[in-house]
């Protein structure tokens, strides 16, 4: 499935610098040692507003998923998932190379990175 060309918007530079280098970089509050999704801007725990960017392990488990079929029936269906990172935050991402019959809640996954010819690199998850 084509997800379109991703462009960075300035706020997400560290995230896309990370994906370009094959690293999953998300937000972290150093004051209370909690991790957040890349689009989080403040810490709901302590109210801190200076979240740092930090590299996550790339380990995750499957929370839920949906299967989308391409409009013209060409190509395999895509699996869009909500995964829980080992550090805690939830992330929306595509699954790649998964056997549909093996999908289950809690399935261990690992981040993988796609580097398209055009646009930013992005993360997806594999078994």
Judged by CB under 5 A, the residue of 46, 66, 75, 77 near Zn ion is 46
By CB under 5 A, is residue 51 in contact with Zn ion?
Answer: no
Q: Which residue's CB is nearer to Zn ion, number 33 or number 117?
A: 33
Residue 43 makes contact with Zn ion by CB under 5 A: yes
Residues 6 or more apart from 66 whose CB is under 8 A from it? Answer: 79, 80, 81
- Cβ neighbours of 77 (radius 10 Å): 13
Contacts of 28 (CB under 8 A, 6+ apart): 34, 35, 36, 51, 52, 53, 54, 87
Contact region with Zn ion (CB under 5 A), list: 37-45, 63-71, 83-91, 117-125:
37-45
In the bound complex, what is the minimum distance in angstroms from residue 36's beta carbon to Zn ion? 9
Q: Which is nearer to Zn ion, 32 or 67 (CB)?
A: 32
Q: Which phi and psi (to 5°) does residue 52 adopt? A: -95, 165
Q: Which spans of this chain sit near Zn ion (rule: CB under 5 A)?
A: 29, 31-32, 43, 45-46, 48
């Amino acid at each position: 499935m084509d997800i379109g060309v991703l462009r960075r918007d300035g706020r997400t530079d560290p995230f896309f610098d990370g994906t370009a280098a094959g690293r999953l970089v998300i937000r972290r509050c150093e004051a209370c040692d909690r991790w957040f999704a890349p689009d989080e801007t403040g810490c709901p725990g302590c109210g801190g507003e200076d979240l740092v960017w930090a590299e996550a392990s790339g380990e995750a488990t499957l929370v839920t998923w949906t299967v989308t079929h391409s409009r013209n029936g060409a190509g395999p269906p895509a699996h869009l998932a909500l995964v829980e990172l080992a550090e805690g935050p939830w992330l929306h991402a595509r699954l790649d190379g998964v056997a549909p019959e093996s999908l289950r809640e809690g399935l261990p996954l690992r981040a993988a990175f796609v580097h398209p010819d055009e646009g930013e690199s992005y993360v997806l998850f594999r078994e």
